[in-house]
Amino acid sequence: MDTLPIGSRLQLKNLLFLSDFSDSSELAIPYALNLARKYGARIHALHVLTPQVPLIPEPEEVERRLDAIDDSAQVGIQRLETQLVGVDHQTILVRGENVWGSVRNAMQEYGIDLLIMGTHGRTGSLKMQMGSVAEEIFRKASTPVLTIGPAVRIGAHNGGTFHNVLYPTDFSSRAAAALPYALSVADESQAKLHLLHVLPKPNVRTGPVQPNETVADAMHHLHQLVPGGAALWCRPEAIVRFGEPADRILAAAREVAADLIVMGVRDPGSRMGEATHFEGAIAHRVVANAICPVFTKRE
């Protein structure tokens, strides 16, 4: 059976698990544990204490509340220690001006191969007000990120093995950056690879000039993405849909019972807020609503 060359496979030695001790982080722990066991990797579990000064005038009360925050973080770290028993790991509690800065430092210090995190999946006006730590991380991180959103079913982690991998692509360089990882995961797990391309919905009045050829071309292009011989083990299925990309990706994930979505994301550059703080951000909407984890790789 043909497989990917060793150099193309997913290599995981150091995993960074980002926790804020919330239910979302709890949901991500099984994935970190199972991947650590599968690849013999070490988990670096990180919690970042960012400045949280209570809006109260009394200095004594401010100090008391800050102490309570510190105590709560220590309790969370101790709980993490018990949850990670049985795998090589370390827990890290740091103070930082923002989460991303501390994550970036940890990734560099520990040579991280994959970052794993849960997310609350905020969208719309709430996301506008509070921002999205998860989105900032998966768009800025140079290493791949596995994000587990609130719609993921508890316990649906398959022991770190995946059966149906969905790879959405618009044939851009951004999407191409994630393709080797989709192939690698499919190879490692002997999973079925579903390749999805979303076309704009036809104009009701005029319609596309050559709709059949457009779909045929997309199908052909999707099949061309799979290297020779790989079809023997990943059993690729090409899917073409019409409509809004995020909606069609989420629908396709449900249709094929995907247990992993692999997609490329754009580097936000210096315009993080402008580029991502709107309802139509495809990657964020997929992560926030997907029934399975989403593996992202920045271009």
- Cα–Cα distance measured from residue 41 to residue 87, given in angstroms and rounded to the nearest whole number: 8
Encoded amino acid at 208, one letter? P
pLDDT-flagged residues of the chain (< 50): 1-7, 123-131, 155, 209-210, 270, 273-280
For residue 13, give the nearest of 104, 79, 87 by alpha carbon. 87
Decide if domain 6-298 falls under CATH 3.50.50.60. Answer: no
Q: Count the Cβ atoms, other than its own, within 10 Å of residue 120.
A: 19
Q: Is 276 left (phi over 0), alpha (psi -120 to 50) or beta?
A: alpha
Give the pLDDT of residue 198.
94
Helix residue ranges, H only, 91-242: 99-110, 124-130, 133-140, 173-176, 179-189, 211-224, 231-234
Q: Which residue has the tokens 């959103």?
A: 149
Backbone angles phi, psi at 284, to 5 degrees: -65, -40
The domain locations on the chain are 6-298
Contact 183, 262 (CB under 8 A): no
- Cα–Cα distance measured from residue 30 to residue 62, given in angstroms and rounded to the nearest whole number: 36
In DSSP notation, 134-151 reads: HHHHHHH-SS-EEEE-TT
pLDDT tens readout for residues 173-208:
999 999 999 998 888 888 899 999 999 887 655 555
Give the pLDDT of residue 266.
85
- Cα–Cα distance measured from residue 190 to residue 126, given in angstroms and rounded to the nearest whole number: 40
